[in-house]
Amino acid sequence: MKFPKAIFIKLLKNKYLLTSLAFILYITIFSQNNLIERFSAIHELKKLESQKEYYLKIIKDNTEKIKELKTDQAHLEKFAREEYLMKK
């Protein structure tokens, strides 16, 4: 079934349809805060939030290790032997 030429021309003469299409085109492509950039920014934000959680977990683990090394002499000796290949 072909799309009749008369209906196509009639749709092109509809000023509300043309205005709506122009507005949608402007919003999705040409505006400063277009939808394409907005979706990529949302994706980037999610990625950065997951990285933030990862680094906060690492900071927490390292803080616990530092506290443990400062308080327990046996752990400090074990750490020195493992990391710096020191002997007793």
pLDDT value of residue 20 = 92
Q: Which residue has the tokens 């085109």?
A: 25
Give the Cα separation of 81 and 29 in Å (integer): 60
List, in order, residues 6 or more apart from 80 with CB less than 8 Å away: 86
Q: What is the mean pLDDT of residues 1-25?
A: 82
pTM given for the model:
0.58
79: exposed, middle or buried (Cβ count in 10 Å: 0-12, 13-18, 19+): middle
- Is 28's pLDDT higher than 80? yes
- Is 1's pLDDT higher than 70? no
Give the Cα separation of 16 and 5 in Å (integer): 19
Q: What is the mean pLDDT of residues 19-39?
A: 87
Regarding predicted confidence, which is higher, 26 or 87?
26
- 33-79 pLDDT, tens digit per residue, is 888 889 999 999 999 999 999 999 999 999 999 999 999 888 888 88
